[in-house]
């Protein structure tokens, strides 16, 4: 993120949205952090209390991650 002028510019460029940030904040991953994400390649948006969110992520180390998470009105699972 250090070569972008603002966090908003970084999120727009990488495709990282609020849902992904919250999912990772409430469910930290042992292999990567939100700042390790280079780009969101695909997303299927879920719906609270109904269907999960799905992301395909490209990391800065050129690895790829499939991430899924569910959210209800109390937070991310």
Q: What is the pLDDT of residues 27-76, one digit of tens each?
A: 999 999 998 999 999 999 998 889 999 999 999 999 999 999 999 888 88
Domain count, the chain: 1
Q: CA triplet 70, 74, 77: central angle to 5 degrees? A: 30
pTM score: 0.81
Domain-located, residue 1: no
What would the DSSP string read from start to end of 44-63? E--BTTTB-EEEEEEETTS-
2 within domain boundaries:
no
Tokens 């209390």 -> residue: 49
In a domain, 54, yes or no: yes
Domain membership of residue 48 as a residue range: 7-76
């Amino acid at each position: 993120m250090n070569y972008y002028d603002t966090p908003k510019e970084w999120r727009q460029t990488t495709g990282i949205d609020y849902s992904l940030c919250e999912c990772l904040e409430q469910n930290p991953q042992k292999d990567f952090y939100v700042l390790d994400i280079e780009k969101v390649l695909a997303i299927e948006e879920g719906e609270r209390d109904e269907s999960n969110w799905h992301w395909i992520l490209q990391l800065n180390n050129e690895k790829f991650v499939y991430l899924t998470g569910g959210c209800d009105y109390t937070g991310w699972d």
